[in-house]
Amino acid sequence: GENVEQHPSTLSVQEGDSAVIKCTYSDSASNYFPWYKQELGKRPQLIIDIRSNVGEKKDQRIAVTLNKTAKHFSLHITETQPEDSAVYFCAATPFYSSASKIIFGSGTRLSIRP
């Protein structure tokens, strides 16, 4: 089955700097890679996702890159702000017509220093 590894487990960056979180996956059948953000005491919510037919996707200050050959994908946050402080989870799943077993990485706790 799929195994997703996520690094680093904690990350502290100065406000305004960039943050990068990296994930690797094992199942070559995986072709959908979402990222979820969980603020303290709240439920995880999708912030960006990428499919295997795309190498990069951007949404304002957030971008995700995918290298299918190397089986890794990364989340990039630029111009970090205090509200970016949260736990971020990457995930991988194959695109099936029915069941989608979504496997998560272990999470990265991002702290933004003022």
Partner 1 sequence: DVKVTQSSRYLVKRTGEKVFLECVQDMDHENMFWYRQDPGLGLRLIYFSYDVKMKEKGDIPEGYSVSREKKERFSLILESASTNQTSMYLCASSPIQGQGKTGELFFGEGSRLTVL
Question: By CB under 8 A, is residue 58 in contact with partner 1?
Answer: no
Q: How far is the CB of 91 from partner 1 (least distance, A)?
A: 8
Q: How many Cβ atoms are within 10 Å of 6's Cβ, its own excluded?
A: 20
Q: Which residues, numbered 83-112, are part of the site for partner 1 (CB under 8 A)?
A: 89, 93, 95-107
On the question of a cis peptide bond just before residue 114, with omega within 30 degrees of 0, the verdict is no
Measured CA to CA, the distance from residue 37 to residue 1 in angstroms comes to 24
What does the angle CA 80 – CA 84 – CA 88 come to, to the nearest 5 degrees? 120
Candidates 44, 64, 84, 85; binder of partner 1 (CB under 8 A) is: 44
Where on the chain is the footprint of partner 1 (CB under 8 A)?
1, 6, 9, 32, 34, 36, 43-46, 49, 89, 93, 95-107
